[in-house]
């Protein structure tokens, strides 16, 4: 079965901004926080906000305290004033595109225009817009209602941002003919338009379109209608549990899209449920998928990547590798990653539900595996000599200290209690740890000295691992934010993080050739420029939506580490 995910599926800019503002406020501020009305139309997100201590305030009390967040749809100005007068600190999460419509209305109302709003009179956004127009505001939802309005001397027409594009085009044409003195503003959000157009195109290519999103969400309902208009069956669900068991039977191509208020992790849960229910895979394909998924979730595949990178680093420096150093790298990474995954189950429930389930169900097994891997690594290092053992022992200690609270809660004034709470620290420290483990440790133990090639190999490994970790953090952004993790993409923002990663990979790619040119690396090491190049390609594909951020992409990213080892082995064979 082929699953095609719409590039435009999921949070739009305005919804993402509102949810981020609310979750950041809950993670950082101390006083009470609530939202005025539901922040967005998605019950699962509203449940999470409730769990994080952000209830919904339905009316305006006479007296209030703390922060009140205004939803992405905006509210009438008189209500905002009432909230301030009641004593709330107002945090305005109104979408900037809705603010633009409010500004147009305010400006034209002041200059005596009537305001005609094309939209649904009960929709919160329209209620808010009407508040800016006052007594000169009129809402219409059909051409008949527009034609029935009196002829105004001065009037403007605006649309609810999620309005149907074709309906609004009809209005513009009618106004040009019948009320040419009216001003028409195109205030439909292009995010809505792109989403509808893509759903239409998707529906023509698949057997079934699954639309994920709140049942109350107007833009999500419209996506299901658009799929039906294209003649394809569609299913509107709020969560993965609603997928009927036999609906995927005989379906070869499934299209998945989601409304503007659907978070990525719900979309991911739906994709993962469909993948596991898929009936058309051959038994062989199903087995391959299961093995892939287990290798990824258990971190065994990542540990294999560490072993491969350790081997590649020796080759780059031109000395013979010893297998035990790959074993040390693999066992250390396996042990630390399993412990990290066990402590990260709360965010995995959103980002990677399959992995969270696996670790919750087999918690004792993973504890034993992590302990066994850790002891094996230390024993191998001990056998290799006092220096490798001391280095690995220090790194194990550092790994434990990284997550352990350094200050008791009563003495810590900020939310930073351990090294892992320092924003962005995880990505940097993991990269350094891999560099030490795969480059410094084997080089100092086997060769006994470090040189320029060691530094260049260290930078190659650390940069590759830095990008890999940050790439996964970008994919897990929403779940991490919910549980209050301070990853690099949360600190820098998604766009800046992606730019940084591309810049870093470009430096690694060109740096590899520079090192060959300066005879720091052997000439055949040009092959090792392939993994950073492929990673740039995957990153660009994910940004453009060409490559979905799913389990397959995660598997391909981890495969690049193993590919480095394979390429190093090929170079070694060619040299011999
Ligand atoms: S659909 Fe457009 S206008 Fe509405 S919240 Fe999203 S970005 Fe803003």
Q: Is 34 annotated as a binding residue?
A: no
Q: Give yes or no for residue 279 having a pLDDT over 60.
A: no
From CA 241, how far away is CA 574, in angstroms rounded? 53
Ligand 1 pocket member 161 (CB < 6 A): yes
Cα three-residue angle 162-44-46, rounded to 5 degrees: 75
β 89-92/67-70 pair status: parallel
At 237 the pLDDT is: 92
Q: Is 12 annotated as a binding residue?
A: yes
Q: Whose C-alpha lies nearest to ligand 1, atom 5? A: 14
Alpha helices in 206-322 (DSSP H): 218-229, 264-277, 283-297, 300-317
Mean of the per-residue pLDDT values of the chain = 88
User: What is the CATH architecture assignment of 98-188?
Assistant: 3-Layer(aba) Sandwich (3.40)
At 521 the pLDDT is: 92
Q: Give yes or no for residue 60 having a pLDDT over 60.
A: yes
> Which of 92-106, 236-250, 387-401, 422-436 holds the top average pLDDT?
92-106
195 versus 407: the higher-pLDDT residue is 195
3-state secondary structure 88-146: CEEEECCCHHHHHHHHHHHHHHHCCCEEEEECCCCCHHHHHHHHHHHHHEEEECCHHHH
Q: What percent of the chain has pLDDT over 70?
A: 96
Q: Tell me, yes or no, if 125 is annotated catalytic.
A: yes
Q: Is-contact 89 30, C-beta < 8 A? A: no
184 pLDDT tier (thresholds 50, 70, 90): very high
Closest by CA position to 43, among listed 261, 211, 268: 261
- CA distances 369 to 60, 366, 394, 544, Å, are 55, 5, 21, 39
State the distance from the centre of ligand 1 to the C-alpha of 221, rounded, in angstroms.
Answer: 15
Q: Whose C-alpha lies nearest to ligand 1, atom 8? A: 14
Ligand 1 pocket member 72 (CB < 6 A): yes
Q: Mean per-residue pLDDT for 366-392?
A: 95
Partners of 35 in beta bridges: 56, 69
State the distance from the centre of ligand 1 to the C-alpha of 260, rounded, in angstroms.
Answer: 7
At 324 the pLDDT is: 95
Ligand 1 pocket member 69 (CB < 6 A): no
At 406 the pLDDT is: 65
Q: Give yes or no for residue 62 having a pLDDT over 80.
A: yes
Closest by CA position to 415, among listed 470, 485, 491, 474: 485
Q: Mean per-residue pLDDT for 528-535?
A: 95
pLDDT digits 0-9 by tens, 406-437:
666 555 555 556 677 777 788 899 999 999 99
From CA 428, how far away is CA 418, in angstroms rounded? 15
At 434 the pLDDT is: 95
From CA 135, how far away is CA 218, in angstroms rounded? 26
What are the sequence ranges of the domains in the chain?
A: 14-94, 98-188, 191-283, 299-403+418-574
CATH entry 3.40.50.11270 includes domain 14-94? yes
CATH entry 1.20.1070 includes domain 299-403+418-574? no
From CA 151, how far away is CA 424, in angstroms rounded? 59
From CA 22, how far away is CA 16, in angstroms rounded? 10
Q: Which two tokens stand for residue 225?
A: 């209608």
pLDDT digits 0-9 by tens, 131-175:
999 899 999 999 999 999 999 999 999 999 988 778 889 999 999
Q: Which atom of ligand 1 is nearest to the CA of 96?
A: 8
Q: How many residues does the chain have?
A: 576
Q: Is 261 annotated as a binding residue?
A: yes
State the distance from the centre of ligand 1 to the C-alpha of 497, rounded, in angstroms.
Answer: 23
pLDDT digits 0-9 by tens, 285-301:
778 878 888 899 899 99
At 149 the pLDDT is: 95
Computed on alpha carbons and rounded to an integer, the radius of gyration of the chain in Å comes to: 28
Do the first three CATH levels of 14-94 and 191-283 match, i.e. the same topology?
no
At 148 the pLDDT is: 95
Ligand 1 pocket member 94 (CB < 6 A): no
From CA 478, how far away is CA 559, in angstroms rounded? 25
β 89-92/56-57 pair status: unpaired
Q: Which two tokens stand for residue 519?
A: 């005879």
From CA 469, how far away is CA 181, in angstroms rounded? 58
Ligand 1 pocket member 188 (CB < 6 A): no
Q: Which two tokens stand for residue 145?
A: 């209602």
Q: Is-contact 145 116, C-beta < 8 A? A: no
User: What is the CATH architecture assignment of 191-283?
Assistant: 3-Layer(aba) Sandwich (3.40)
Q: Is-contact 458 432, C-beta < 8 A? A: no
Q: Give yes or no for residue 518 having a pLDDT over 70.
A: yes
From CA 323, how far away is CA 320, in angstroms rounded? 10
Q: Is 123 annotated as a binding residue?
A: yes
Residue of 98, 187, 223 to test ligand 1 pocket, by largest number of atoms within 8 Å of CB: 98
Q: Is-contact 129 77, C-beta < 8 A? A: no
What are phi and psi for residue 422, nearest 5 degrees? -75, 120
Q: Give yes or no for residue 372 having a pLDDT over 80.
A: yes
Ligand 1 pocket member 98 (CB < 6 A): yes
Q: Which two tokens stand for residue 493?
A: 């923002």
Q: Give yes or no for residue 491 having a pLDDT over 80.
A: yes
Pick the catalytic residue: 125, 198, 354, 486?
125
């Amino acid at each position: 079965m082929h699953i095609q995910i719409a590039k435009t599926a999921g949070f739009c800019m305005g919804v993402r901004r509102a949810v981020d503002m609310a979750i950041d406020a809950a993670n950082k501020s101390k006083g009470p926080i609530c939202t005025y009305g539901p922040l967005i139309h998605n019950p699962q997100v509203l449940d999470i906000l409730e769990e994080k201590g952000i209830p919904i305030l339905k009316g305006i009390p006479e007296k209030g305290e703390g922060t009140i967040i205004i939803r992405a749809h905006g509210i009438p100005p008189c209500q905002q004033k009432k909230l301030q007068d009641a004593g709330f600190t107002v945090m305005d999460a109104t979408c900037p595109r809705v603010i633009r419509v409010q500004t147009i209305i305010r400006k034209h109302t002041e200059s005596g225009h009537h305001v005609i709003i094309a939209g649904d009179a009960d929709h919160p956004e329209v209620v808010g817009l009407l508040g800016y127009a006052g007594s000169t505001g009129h809402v219409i939802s059909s051409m008949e209602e527009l034609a029935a309005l009196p002829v105004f001397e001065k009037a403007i027409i605006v649309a609810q941002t999620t309005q149907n594009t074709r309906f609004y085009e009809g209005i513009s044409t009618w106004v040009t003919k019948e009320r040419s003195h009216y001003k028409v503003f195109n205030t439909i959000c292009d995010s809505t338009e792109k989403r509808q157009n893509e759903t239409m195109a998707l529906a023509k290519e698949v057997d079934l379109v699954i639309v994920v999103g709140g049942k109350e969400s107007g833009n999500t309902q419209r996506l299901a209608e658009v799929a039906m208009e294209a003649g394809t069956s569609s299913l509107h669900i709020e969560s993965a549990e609603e997928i009927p068991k036999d609906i995927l039977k005989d379906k070869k191509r499934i299209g998945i899209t989601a409304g503007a208020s659907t978070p990525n992790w719900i979309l991911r849960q739906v994709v993962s449920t469909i993948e596991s229910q898929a009936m058309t895979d051959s038994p062989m394909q199903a087995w391959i998928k299961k093995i892939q998924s287990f290798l990824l979730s258990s971190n065994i595949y990542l540990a294999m990547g560490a072993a491969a990178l350790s081997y590649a680093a020796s080759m780059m420096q031109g000395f013979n590798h010893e297998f035990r150093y790959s074993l040390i790298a693999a066992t250390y990474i396996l042990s630390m990653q399993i412990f990290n995954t066990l402590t990260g189950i709360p965010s995995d429930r959103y980002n990677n539900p399959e992995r969270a389930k696996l670790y919750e169900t087999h918690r004792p097994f993973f504890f034993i595996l992590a302990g066994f891997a850790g002891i094996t690594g230390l024993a191998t290092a001990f056998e290799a000599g006092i220096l490798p053992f001391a280095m690995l022992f220090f790194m194990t200690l550092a790994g434990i200290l990284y997550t352990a609270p350094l200050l008791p809660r009563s003495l810590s004034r900020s939310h930073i209690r351990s090294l892992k709470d320092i924003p962005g620290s995880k990505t940097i420290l993991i990269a350094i740890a891999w560099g030490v483990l795969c480059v410094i440790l084997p080089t100092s133990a086997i060769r006994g000295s470090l040189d320029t090639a060691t530094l260049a190999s260290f930078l190659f490994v650390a940069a590759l691992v830095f990008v890999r970790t940050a790439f996964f953090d970008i994919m897990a952004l929403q779940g991490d934010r919910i549980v209050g993790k301070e990853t690099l993409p949360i600190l820098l923002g998604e766009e800046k993080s992606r730019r940084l990663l591309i810049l870093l990979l470009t430096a690694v790619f060109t740096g590899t050739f520079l090192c060959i040119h300066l005879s720091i690396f052997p000439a055949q090491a040009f092959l090792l420029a392939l993994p950073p190049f492929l990673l740039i390609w995957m990153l660009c594909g994910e940004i453009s939506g060409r490559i979905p951020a799913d389990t397959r992409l995660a598997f391909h990213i981890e495969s690049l580490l193993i590919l480095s080892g394979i390429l190093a082995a090929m170079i070694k064979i060619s040299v011999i």
